[in-house]
């Protein structure tokens, strides 16, 4: 039996999806670390071990993400914009807008009814409002990253974060803690800052329902709720929002296979 593979090599994490003829799929997620090629190879070996499949059974491989050019075993390389659109459409066929917040960039993608990209906008010049931004803030506040979402929701009010730059925002957060502001309220301010930045991207391409949020930040319920308030919509969140790009890449590989 043959399979196809989709690999999304991001700045913080690498996702690999293996798909069969019936579009059943399995996946693994690993940290990218310093070497994107090594991360992709390690993720592939983990996935093959997990699924008890052999590398020789992989018919076609599509790579996406910033590290896609470093994968010599990829048969095709496709931009993450296209892959995220296809992956989101596969999971939610009625999606018209995709909000993806990854490790070091964020993007908003408008799709047609067939999942094809009609417009998009990216924020890739600064890590503010991304997964890296949240990591830095969590470290400054001495809280676990996966706890931030719930902690922010517990705040009765928000402490605004005025700095858009990650470096300046970190200094601002340290100052707010020193001034005696509750950590939960600062976290809510951080979430609101990300949501405000993201909603401005949405406005640039125009909001169309249904809206799907992908990327690691979609696991932060505080950011999700803050963004929903600003956009006036309920966001659809995949069961595993980090694999949507790799899933889209696997779907392109599936098409190449001609099943």
**Do β-strands 97-101 and 106-111 pair in parallel, antiparallel, or remain unpaired?**
antiparallel
Task: Return the pLDDT at 165.
Answer: 78
Residues 6+ apart with CB under 8 A from 168: none
pLDDT digits (tens, 9 = 90+) for 29-84: 999 998 999 999 999 999 999 999 999 999 999 999 989 998 989 999 999 999 99
CA distance 97 to 134: 23
Percent of the chain with pLDDT over 90: 83
1 or 235: whose pLDDT is higher? 235
Q: CB–CB of 16/7 below 8 Å?
A: yes
169 or 225: whose pLDDT is higher? 225
**pLDDT confidence tier of residue 166, bands split at 50, 70 and 90:** confident
Among candidate residues 259, 258, 204, 243, the one with its CA nearest the CA of residue 6: 243
Q: Which residues pair with 77 in a beta bridge?
A: 63
Task: Return the pLDDT at 131.
Answer: 87
Task: Return the pLDDT at 92.
Answer: 98
Q: How far is CA 112 from CA 109, 138, 146, 205, 241, in A?
A: 10, 37, 34, 13, 21
Task: Return the pLDDT at 126.
Answer: 67
Task: Indicate if the pLDDT at residue 124 is higher than 70.
Answer: no
pLDDT digits (tens, 9 = 90+) for 175-216: 999 999 999 999 999 999 999 999 999 999 999 999 999 999
The Cβ-side half-sphere exposure at 133, using a 13 Å CA radius, reads: 31
Q: Structure pTM? A: 0.93
Mean of pLDDT values over 233-248: 98
**pLDDT confidence tier of residue 125, bands split at 50, 70 and 90:** low
Task: Return the pLDDT at 86.
Answer: 97
Domains located in the chain, CATH noted: 1-92+240-259 (3.30.420.40), 94-237 (3.30.420.40)
Task: Return the pLDDT at 58.
Answer: 96
Mean of pLDDT values over 104-125: 91
Q: CB–CB of 86/80 below 8 Å?
A: no
Among candidate residues 228, 235, 223, 197, the one with its CA nearest the CA of residue 97: 235
């Amino acid at each position: 039996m043959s399979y196809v593979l989709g690999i999304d090599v991001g700045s913080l994490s690498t996702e690999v999806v293996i798909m069969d003829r019936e579009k059943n799929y399995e996946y693994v997620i690993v940290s990218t670390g310093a070497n994107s090629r090594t991360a992709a190879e390690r993720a592939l070996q983990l996935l093959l071990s997990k699924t008890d499949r052999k590398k020789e059974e992989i018919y076609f491989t599509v790579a996406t993400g910033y590290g896609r050019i470093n994968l010599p075993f990829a048969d095709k390389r496709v931009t993450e914009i296209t892959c995220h659109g296809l992956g989101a459409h596969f999971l939610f066929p009625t999606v018209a807008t995709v909000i993806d917040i990854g490790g070091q960039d964020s993007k908003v993608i408008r799709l047609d009814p067939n999942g094809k990209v009609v417009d998009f906008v990216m924020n890739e010049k600064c890590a503010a409002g991304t997964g890296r931004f949240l990591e830095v803030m969590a470290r400054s506040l001495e809280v676990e990253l996966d706890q931030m979402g719930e902690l922010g929701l517990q705040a009765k009010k928000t402490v605004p974060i005025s700095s858009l730059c990650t470096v300046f925002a970190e200094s601002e957060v340290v100052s707010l803690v020193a001034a005696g502001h509750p950590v939960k309220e600062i976290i809510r301010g951080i979430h609101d800052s990300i949501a405000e930045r993201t909603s401005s991207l949405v406005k640039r391409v125009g909001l169309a329902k249904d809206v799907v949020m992908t990327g690691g930040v979609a696991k932060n319920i505080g950011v999700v709720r803050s963004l929903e308030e600003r956009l006036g919509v309920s966001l659809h969140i995949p069961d595993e929002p980090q694999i949507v790009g790799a899933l889209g890449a696997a779907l392109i590989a599936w098409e190449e296979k001609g099943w």
